[in-house]
Amino acid sequence: MKRILIVGAGGQIGSELTTYLRKIYGDANVVATDVRECKALAEQGPFEVLDALDANAMASVVSRYGIDTIFNLVALLSAVGEKNPQLAWKVNIGALTNSLEVARERKCAVFTPSSIGAFGPSSPKDKTPQDTVMRPTTMYGVCKVTGELMSDYYHSRFGVDTRSVRFPGLISNVTLPGGGTTDYAVEIYYEAIRSGRFTCPVPSDVYMDMMYMPDALRACVELMEADPAKLVHRNSFNIASMSFTPEVICAEIRKRLPDFTMDYDVDPVKKAIAESWPNSLDDTCAREEWGWKPEWDLSRMTDDMLEHIRQKLALA
């Protein structure tokens, strides 16, 4: 990667990935785009307002900046997607199709994240294999499976260098999530500091794979820099870090904040989505093919989250 375009840079992943990539490759070599202006990203380096559904506009940006790698991060997340599945398909697949087609025409590599949401109730729940049945029951999941298949197609049919990981739920102290089923695992930390109590929207006993954002960002770079000759798979790699229930994360917070309390007001949509997803992923292929290894566990992440949120809220 030398000249990078990030489509959807204003979202939870993009806002942090842009800064992360600029530190590695240089501010001028990472072009951030979003459908609306992001002043913080524009102050760091190149920024363009771009509608990812406008293929001509995307091609123009790629041409003007000499882009060789596209990170397509545009997506409506799981819970939001269920409220408007037609819009979710239009946005998620439209941005993907344009990214792949522009990459084919301009000889770019493409990274498009997939998700644990690509699996469904009929997938094995524990240590879900890299290659297994994928029958998701959400539009978000349908889009992710479609994205994996389309990306593999563009690689096999047109030679586009497509690569992807299946992200677990992502936890960050920088940018708040935007309508995902795993959002509770971010919100719980903020409320632990703000009020000392949290009302959880997912059931107490549902395990879901999670990952701290620093590991997720590192995974993106490591995969895109990996030797293509070693990649048996491409779209998309299971990657894993930690798996827990709301009760487990609550107990971890109580080790630091003994008076913290949590109750439940279960959202039926999020409940159905959470229960359809894997409890944990088997990431053996990522470890073997490009050396994936997580650095953060629940205990270390909890210390870091609470410390940064305290600082953030004190400055607000």
Which of 140, 154, 189, 212 is catalytic? The answer is 140
Could you tell me the two tokens for 182? Answer: 């795993």
Residue 259, SS3?
coil
DSSP of 137-161: SSHHHHHHHHHHHHHHHHHHHH---
State the Cα–Cα distance between residues 37 and 76, nearest whole angstrom.
Answer: 18
Could you tell me the two tokens for 116? Answer: 């644990």
Spacing of C-alpha 245 from chain mean position: 19
Quick check: is 153 catalytic? no
Report CA-CA distances (Å) from 133 to 81, 236, 275. 22, 14, 16
- Asked if residues 140 and 178 have their Cβ atoms less than 8 Å apart, the reply is no
Residue 293, SS3?
coil
**Cα dihedral sign, 28-31-35-38:** negative
Could you tell me the two tokens for 272? Answer: 């159905």
Q: Any idea what the Cα angle at residue 39 is, between residues 33 and 40, rounded to 5°?
A: 95
Residues involved in catalysis: 140
